[in-house]
Amino acid sequence: MRGPTIIKAEDDKTRQLNKHTLMAFSGEAGDTVQFAEYVQANVSLYTMRNDTELSPAAVSSFVRGELARSLRSRSPYTVNLLLGGVDPVTQEPSLYWIDYLASLAPVPYAAHGYAQYYCLSLLDKHHNPNISLEEGMKLLERCTDELKRRLPIDYKGVLVKVITKDGVKVMDFDNDRVVRSA
Amino acid sequence: MSRRYDSRTTIFSPEGRLYQVEYALEAISHAGTALGILAKDGIVLAAERKVTSKLLEQDTSAEKLYTINDNMICAVAGMNADANILINYARQNAQRYLLTYNEDIPASSSCADCHGGLRPFGVSFIYAGWDHLRQFQLYQSNPSGNYGGWKATSVGANNASAQSLLKQDYKEDSTLQEACAMAVKVLSKTMDSTKLSSEKIEFATVGKTKDGKIYHHLWSADEIDALLREQGLAKVDDEPEAGDIK
């Protein structure tokens, strides 16, 4: 379905930066893709020049720096980001929450936008530090179920990508599952 | 001597050589020897300090060994004035990387940029560094812009004989302590006088503490003298040196 407020329902709001780093973005249309692809280009330039990949921690600092620089310019990017990755050396997974004011925080779970008001409480209750990928997917399902029940705007489903030490892959996710109200 | 193709670095000679670069390399081979040895638990850098005059104020600080950042040091052979420019550049570059990525610059990237200039910089560096990608690393660079990783290497005067001594004595899996002993041994053979003292050499090590932190350490005169005594290479004051007039 398309209309004056909907251009594309299944738009991919992520960019893969290197083999095991993925960045998801939301914010001002135009800014988001422009900024994400600028970061993507710079990270792959680093990979080409140095024959090594930047760790997610290093990428997050770079992105924060670029946003901080942009914030102090005449026309800053209004982009909020989630950056996830697996460190190529230590194999440790990590997640970073970054907003358009160039705040950076390493976090166990995160959300941006209106959906965060419904999801963060669920994530807070059900997340634990040793959570497995399988349990994580179940928790994500709890979140999307809640969005289906409560989000005042038309909910169009999610695109799920998983980052492991082997790279980034798209997960099958049933967006059409009917959820009963409690 | 050629006077046609050596005035500019941009001009190749008919044989395809760049004389300015070759002259710079030649200048380095007259400088005091510097060497580096990679061990399994660290790296040692040692350098010969040329004592020019007895009247010259002996600077207590190192003049051939410099720190670049928290996990990298380097040894210099060649023109000190040129070295200062490149070391300043390398230090700034390392800090810029730290500011951008919030982690220390990888050792290989740090030494990749130390060359260039309108005339070639008349210095070779030996870098000793550590990063989480390749642990302890030893690199050498020269005025042509080439650099490479080594297990043991030397630059400066007598570097050919130092290199063959290193090749002879180098053992895989040697400890930092063994590498230090080897460094003074090689240096004692390549320097003019067989008896060394802390006035004539500089010493630095990069290693790991027991709790896994990387340290680098410029040795004090007392520490160098202690090592020399241990290796039986120290100069004994009342023993006349060869060539001394009684």
**For residue A170, what pLDDT is reported?**
96
- Residue B246 confidence class, pLDDT cut points 50, 70, 90: very low
Range with the poorest average pLDDT among B14-28, B193-207, B230-244: B230-244
Contact (Cβ atoms closer than 8 angstroms) between residue B74 and residue B68? yes
Whether the pLDDT of residue B238 is over 70: the answer is no
Whether the pLDDT of residue B1 is over 60: the answer is no
Task: Kindly state the tokens that stand for A137.
Answer: 């997917």
Among candidates A52, A57, A89 on the partner chain, residue whose Cβ is nearest the Cβ of B102: A57
Q: Is A149 helix (H, G, I), strand (E, B) or coil?
A: helix
Span B148-205, pLDDT tens digits: 999 999 999 989 999 999 999 999 999 999 999 999 999 999 988 767 888 889 999 9
Residues 84-123 of B with CB under 8 A from A: 99-103, 106, 108-109
More confident: A146 or B111: A146
Whether the pLDDT of residue B112 is over 60: the answer is yes
Reduce the secondary structure of chain B to three states and give it as a string.
Answer: CCCCCCCCCCCCCCCCCCHHHHHHHHHHCCCCCEEEEEECCEEEEEEECCCCCCCCCCCCCCCCEEEEECCEEEEEEECHHHHHHHHHHHHHHHHHHHHHHCCCCCHHHHHHCCCCCCCCCCEEEEEEEEECCCEEEEEEECCCCCEEECCEEEECCCHHHHHHHHHHHCCCCCCHHHHHHHHHHHHHHHCCCCCECCCCEEEEEEEECCCCCEEEEECCHHHHHHHHHHCCCECCCCCCCCCCCC
Residues 150-179 of A with CB under 8 A from B: none
- Among A42, A45, A46, A52, the residue to mutate for chain B (most B Cβ within 10 A): A52
**For residue A14, what pLDDT is reported?**
97
Q: Which residues contact A151 (CB under 8 A, 6 or more apart)?
A: A114, A115, A118
Sign of the C-alpha dihedral computed for residues B11, B16, B21 and B27 taken in this order: negative
Interface check A58 vs B, CB under 8 A: yes
**For residue B9, what pLDDT is reported?**
64
Residue numbers in B near A65 (CB within 8 A): 99-100
**What's the pTM value of the predicted model, to 2 decimals?**
0.87
**For residue B3, what pLDDT is reported?**
63
Cα–Cα distance, B138 to B127 (Å, whole number): 6
**Beta strands at B65-69 and B42-48: parallel, antiparallel or unpaired:** unpaired
Among candidates B101, B108, B109 on the partner chain, residue whose Cβ is nearest the Cβ of A58: B101
Closest CA to B182 of B61, B86, B44, B54: B44
**Mean pLDDT by 10-residue block, N- to C-terminus, for chain A (182 residues)?**
78 95 95 97 96 96 97 97 96 97 97 94 96 96 93 89 96 89 68
**For residue A136, what pLDDT is reported?**
96
Residue numbers in A near B135 (CB within 8 A): none
More confident: B7 or A80: A80
